[in-house]
């Protein structure tokens, strides 16, 4: 889209329309009096990875946009509930709240989102996306204005992880006029949430102030509480400010400068320690005494300075300077008498004494080790992207250029303490030496560039592109807490890779569109023995739109030349954390289907009845046999399936929306899933059973500026396994009811 200085009023109206109108892969399901944060800034298109819902037909591949109105119909604050509405996206739960999502796109490794590119406002948001991609941080989905997913075609513009796709979340924009919102709710297990923002724009200045607060006592019952609460929960505090300076509408060249500052603090009483199968079946919401003081504390600070200039009506440039600082310390039970908790829970009979300690008895007078996984991350860089529209003969060219310099690092400075178990309570016996459980720094310096050209030949559009990544990663290990002695500093990895891609769309008529593409997939694997991860990704499909009915059907094949696994504590450990492993050739193929329809369209009804169906079928297969120390694979035979990738996924949502009210129900089905690579029937201790979870939300508008709402997660109170790795069975969230009020002003 071209933005001319003389079109500011029309621009504001167009963006307001785009934010409030239904479009492909997007539902607008709120009543017409719903307050919407409207902004006249053209930068919104430039921080989007799709370009807005209206631009989906211009994308030569699968692309989805969930707007803020759709997000408000999804109960809770769980990003996995949001992403299950997008076909081709897989999520593995950990703790039941959705605080630690493990996200995969088209079969890429799910562990901590380490094989997809995750962004907030178009900027990489992982704490150290090159040096340590498998890090525990994810933005609060409840404060996001929209969520976008691109697969296949994202590999040129967004990297370095181009195997599966890209996920982008856009935060609340600065409103175009004085506007604000306060949304408060409370519910079971002392759950309390607050989301509030206020902002305004003058001719040359705009701002937004926002906070998100969330706390709960949780839903698992400790055998022996040591914090004064029998149900370990979490507390989240988030604060954000945006400040914009821009030229007036009469300026020859429109420019704006936006500063974004954000702070996020979390205290999460979570553990890797689950239950034995026997204990899970008897008391699924139990939590053993050995995890009584397990807790993660995180601090995340975000700085972004973004400049936009419209050089002329056909060329604009957006440049972003960014820095993210993240500190975390997860203090959690790691072993008993030198035996890891994964092995103990996998064979409790063989480790009867250790299980006795974990459950609070300590019949053999053993000691447990609680490890402080203390780490600091820094991610910073500068990125510039240009959009240029030019015509040569009868061909329209929509060119995009990008250049990024980026640095990041992870600093592991960890220790471990010894504890006795006395009468069901943990008693510190030995404070470990600082750095004795991990004392190293890994740094990455990278340059990335891309060029892409969407060439329109009438009904046919062809989009070739090329991405370049130059990556240098170095790791230094220290022998002492003061870091005066280096034990090893020769660990490094260097990558210089070209990533080509080609996509196309063909408009058969105003209703039907064909699409297809082939792209090279690439992911750096850091310091280790494994080669880089590479694949050739194919996709082809069809889109159909006719009035209120919209649909797409897309087939894909990710043909891995080398699949890579990375050792993390969450996969079960048993290896040096951060090491990587070659998996060789793997094929992931599947089918994605999406359909949207409003049953009330064309009928003289007083309500709208929106329906949404998303389905994914997936088949995965190792093409070779090998023995692996990577616990998520184990020993692999040719023909084995990948872990954490269900064959069938289905999400169905339906609503009834009137002038003053709305009711929305969603059913999410996930087929049975294996936790370890294999074939045939899944062993009971490696199987996450199939499940269907129903959620419900409802709202009633009292006035133009106030409404009441209620949310129910897990409506039928289904008891299900959220995860069985790394150490035993962990249960998903039970039925949870929240009620609240929203005030717009």
Is the pLDDT confidence value at 106 over 80? yes
Percent of the chain with pLDDT over 70: 93
Cα–Cα dist 110/469, whole Å: 22
Mean pLDDT of 362-383: 94
What pLDDT does 483 receive? 96
What pLDDT does 591 receive? 98
In a domain, 498, yes or no: yes
Is the pLDDT confidence value at 41 over 80? no
Cα–Cα dist 650/615, whole Å: 4
What pLDDT does 525 receive? 85
What pLDDT does 28 receive? 42
In a domain, 5, yes or no: no
Which of 129-138, 424-433, 572-581 is least confident? 572-581
**Do 647 and 670 meet the contact criterion of CB atoms below 8 Å apart?**
no
Under the banding of pLDDT at 50, 70 and 90, the label for residue 40 is low
Mean pLDDT of 186-193: 95
Q: Give me the half-sphere count of Cα atoms (radius 13 Å) on the Cβ side of residue 374.
A: 15
Is the pLDDT confidence value at 452 over 60? yes
Q: Give me the half-sphere count of Cα atoms (radius 13 Å) on the Cβ side of residue 246.
A: 29
Residue 7 DSSP code: G
Cα–Cα dist 406/320, whole Å: 11
Global pTM value:
0.92
What pLDDT does 108 receive? 85
Indicate the length of the chain as a whole number: 745
Cα–Cα dist 253/307, whole Å: 13
Mean pLDDT of 78-98: 92
**Do 259 and 304 meet the contact criterion of CB atoms below 8 Å apart?**
yes
Mean pLDDT of 36-55: 75
Residue 352 DSSP code: H
Beta bridge partners of 262: 240, 302
For residue 477, give the CATH number of its domain: 2.40.170.20
Which of 120-124, 151-155, 186-190 is least confident? 151-155
Q: What is the overall mean pLDDT for the chain?
A: 90
Neighbour-count burial of 738, counting CB atoms closer than 10 A to its CB (0-12 exposed, 13-18 middle, 19+ buried) = buried
685 compared with 225, residue with greater pLDDT: 685
- Residue in 555, 429, 588 with CA at minimum distance from that of residue 87: 555
- Residue in 355, 322, 378, 398 with CA at minimum distance from that of residue 59: 398
- Supply 92's token pair: 């593995």
Beta bridge partners of 187: 191, 738
Residue 606 DSSP code: S
What pLDDT does 184 receive? 97
- 57-67 tens-digit pLDDT: 999 999 999 99
Cα–chain center distance at 428: 37
Under the banding of pLDDT at 50, 70 and 90, the label for residue 228 is low
In a domain, 35, yes or no: no
Mean pLDDT of 92-103: 90
What pLDDT does 207 receive? 97
Residue 130 DSSP code: T
In a domain, 654, yes or no: yes
Residues 6+ apart with CB under 8 A from 513: 57, 505, 506, 507, 542, 543, 544
Cα–Cα dist 560/581, whole Å: 14
What pLDDT does 508 receive? 97
Under the banding of pLDDT at 50, 70 and 90, the label for residue 532 is confident
610 compared with 4, residue with greater pLDDT: 610
Percent of the chain with pLDDT over 90: 77
In a domain, 122, yes or no: yes
What pLDDT does 19 receive? 31
Cα–Cα dist 528/131, whole Å: 12
Is the pLDDT confidence value at 403 over 60? yes
Strands, E assignment, 6-67 = 63-66
- 535-585 tens-digit pLDDT: 999 999 999 999 899 999 999 999 999 998 877 777 766 677 777 788 899
Neighbour-count burial of 743, counting CB atoms closer than 10 A to its CB (0-12 exposed, 13-18 middle, 19+ buried) = middle
Q: Is 16 helix (H, G, I), strand (E, B) or coil?
A: helix
Under the banding of pLDDT at 50, 70 and 90, the label for residue 507 is very high
Under the banding of pLDDT at 50, 70 and 90, the label for residue 480 is very high
Mean pLDDT of 698-715: 97
Is the pLDDT confidence value at 376 over 70? yes
Q: Is 569 helix (H, G, I), strand (E, B) or coil?
A: helix
SS (H, E, C) 656-724: EECCCEEEEEEEEEECCEECCCECCCCCHHHEECCEEEEEEEEEEEEECCEEEEEEEECCCCCCCEEEC
- Supply 27's token pair: 């539902």
- 279-299 tens-digit pLDDT: 999 999 999 999 999 999 999
Select, from the ranges 32-36, 151-155, 235-239, the one with the highest average predicted confidence (pLDDT): 235-239
What pLDDT does 25 receive? 39
State the maximum Cα–Cα separation within the chain, in Å, rounded to a whole number.
Answer: 84
Cα–Cα dist 67/35, whole Å: 14
In a domain, 33, yes or no: no
What pLDDT does 39 receive? 54
In a domain, 312, yes or no: yes
- Supply 225's token pair: 């509480």
What pLDDT does 573 receive? 62
**Do 220 and 285 meet the contact criterion of CB atoms below 8 Å apart?**
yes
In a domain, 644, yes or no: yes
- DSSP letter string over 520-565? EEEE---SSSSPPEEEEEEEEEEEEEETTEEEEEEEEEEEEEEEEE
Cα–Cα dist 561/163, whole Å: 11
Q: Domain of 133?
A: 42-744
What pLDDT does 11 receive? 36
Structurally, the chain folds into a number of domains equal to 1
Residue 69 DSSP code: H
């Amino acid at each position: 889209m071209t933005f001319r200085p003389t079109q500011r009023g029309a621009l504001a109206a167009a963006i307001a329309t785009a934010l409030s109108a239904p479009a492909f892969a997007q539902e607008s399901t709120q009543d017409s009096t719903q307050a919407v944060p409207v902004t006249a800034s053209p930068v919104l298109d430039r921080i989007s990875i799709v370009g807005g819902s209206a631009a989906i037909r211009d994308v030569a591949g699968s692309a989805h946009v969930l707007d803020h109105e759709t997000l408000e119909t999804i109960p809770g604050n769980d990003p996995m509930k949001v992403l299950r509405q997008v076909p081709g996206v897989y999520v593995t739960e950990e703790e039941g709240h959705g605080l630690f999502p493990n996200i995969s796109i088209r079969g890429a490794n799910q562990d901590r989102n380490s094989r997809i590119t995750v962004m907030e406002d178009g900027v990489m948001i992982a704490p150290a996306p090159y040096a340590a991609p498998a890090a525990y941080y994810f933005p609060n989905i409840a404060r996001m204005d929209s969520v976008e997913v691109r697969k296949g075609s994202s590999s040129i513009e967004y990297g370095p992880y181009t195997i599966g796709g890209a996920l982008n979340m856009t935060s609340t924009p600065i409103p175009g006029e004085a506007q604000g919102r306060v949304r408060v709710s409370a519910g079971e297990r002392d759950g309390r949430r607050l989301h509030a923002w206020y902002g305004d724009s003058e001719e040359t200045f705009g701002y937004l102030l926002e906070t998100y607060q969330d706390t709960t006592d949780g839903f698992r019952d400790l055998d022996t509480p040591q914090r004064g609460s029998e149900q370990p929960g979490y507390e989240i505090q988030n604060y954000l400010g945006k400040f914009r300076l821009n030229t007036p509408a009469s300026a020859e060249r429109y420019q704006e400068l936006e500063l974004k500052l954000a702070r996020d603090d979390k205290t999460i009483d979570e553990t890797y320690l689950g239950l034995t199968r026997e204990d899970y079946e008897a008391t699924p919401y139990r939590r053993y005494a050995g995890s009584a003081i397990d807790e993660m504390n995180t601090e995340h600070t975000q700085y972004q300075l973004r400049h936009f200039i419209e050089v002329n009506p056909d060329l604009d440039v957006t440049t972003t300077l960014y820095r993210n600082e993240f500190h975390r310390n997860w203090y959690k039970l790691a072993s008993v008498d030198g035996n890891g908790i994964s092995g103990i829970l996998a064979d409790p009979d063989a480790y009867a004494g250790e299980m006795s300690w974990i459950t609070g008895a300590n019949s053999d007078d053993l000691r447990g080790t609680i490890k402080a996984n203390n780490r600091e991350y820094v991610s910073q860089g500068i990125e510039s992207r240009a959009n240029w529209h030019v015509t040569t003969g009868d061909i329209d060219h929509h060119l995009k250029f990008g250049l990024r310099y980026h640095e990041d690092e992870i600093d592991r400075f960890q220790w471990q303490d010894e504890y006795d178990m006395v009468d069901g309570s943990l008693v510190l016996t030995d404070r470990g030496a600082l750095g004795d459980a991990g004392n190293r720094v890994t740094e990455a310096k990278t340059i990335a560039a891309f060029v892409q050209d969407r060439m329109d030949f009438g009904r046919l559009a062809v989009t070739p592109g090329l991405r370049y990544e130059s990556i240098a990663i170095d790791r230094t290990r220290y022998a002492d807490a003061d870091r005066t002695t280096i034990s090893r500093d020769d660990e490094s990895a260097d990558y210089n890779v070209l990533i080509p891609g080609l996509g196309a769309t063909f408009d058969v008529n105003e209703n039907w569109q064909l699409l297809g593409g082939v792209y090279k997939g690439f992911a750096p694997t850091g310091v280790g023995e494994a080669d880089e991860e590479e694949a050739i990704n194919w996709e082809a499909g069809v889109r159909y739109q006719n009035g209120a009915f919209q649909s797409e059907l897309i087939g894909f094949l990710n043909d891995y030349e080398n699949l890579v696994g990375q050792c993390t504590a969450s996969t079960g450990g048993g290896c040096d954390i951060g090491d990587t492993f070659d998996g060789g050739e793997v094929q992931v193929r599947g089918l994605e289907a999406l359909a949207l329809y409003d049953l009330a369209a064309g009928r003289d009804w007083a309500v709208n009845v929106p329906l949404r169906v998303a389905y994914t079928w997936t088949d995965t297969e190792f093409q070779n046999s090998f023995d692996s120390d990577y616990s998520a694979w184990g020993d692999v035979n040719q023909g084995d399936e990948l872990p954490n990738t269900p064959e069938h996924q289905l999400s169905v949502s339906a609503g009834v929306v009137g002038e003053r009210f709305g009711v929305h129900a969603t059913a999410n089905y996930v087929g049975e899933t294996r936790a370890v690579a294999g074939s045939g029937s899944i062993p009971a201790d490696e199987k996450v059973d199939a499940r269907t979870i129903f959620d419900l939300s409802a709202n009633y508008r009292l006035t133009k500026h106030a409404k009441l709402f209620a949310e129910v997660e897990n409506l039928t109170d289904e008891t299900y396994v959220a995860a069985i790795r790394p150490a035993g069975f962990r249960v998903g969230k039970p039925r949870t009811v929240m009620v609240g009020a929203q005030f717009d002003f």
